Amino acid sequence: MTPAELRAFCLDFNAAVEEFPFTPETSVFKVMGKMFALSALDAEPLKVNLKCDPEEALRQRAEHAAIAPGWHMNKRHWNTVTVAELPDALVRELVEDSYDLVVAGLPKAERLRLDRP
């Protein structure tokens, strides 16, 4: 997955936006003001921080050397994924899981506005 593909995939989710609150090089992808992905898209290797369920995070780290505790994030709830070392389908699944987890934590009124199944 290329940086452009990762960016496009993150922005394809309902109400997803890209912001740069930390540095101009760090893309932060949010839904309804809540972050679900964070990446320096021009970094080599390409990495992305993704929100995850704490138990799932531990399982993913044990199964994949390319998944580590979230860098500069709450290590219990975030993983850092080295994109090139995993199949694109798995990266997409992890990004989608992160988005879904953030949406699930939104107030009901905001979730309903997203009109997401």
Alpha helices in the chain (DSSP H): 3-11, 54-63, 88-104, 108-114
CB within 8 Å of 4: residues ≥ 6 apart: none
- Listed as ranges, residues in the chain with pLDDT below 70 are 115-117
All structural domains of the chain, each given as residue ranges with its CATH number in brackets, are 3-106 (3.90.1150.30)
Can you give the pLDDT at residue 62?
96
The answer to whether the beta carbons of residues 35 and 27 sit under 8 Å apart is no
Nearest to 37 by CA among 19, 55, 24, 53: 19
Task: Tally the residues of the chain.
Answer: 117
Can you give the pLDDT at residue 71?
86
Can you give the pLDDT at residue 111?
87
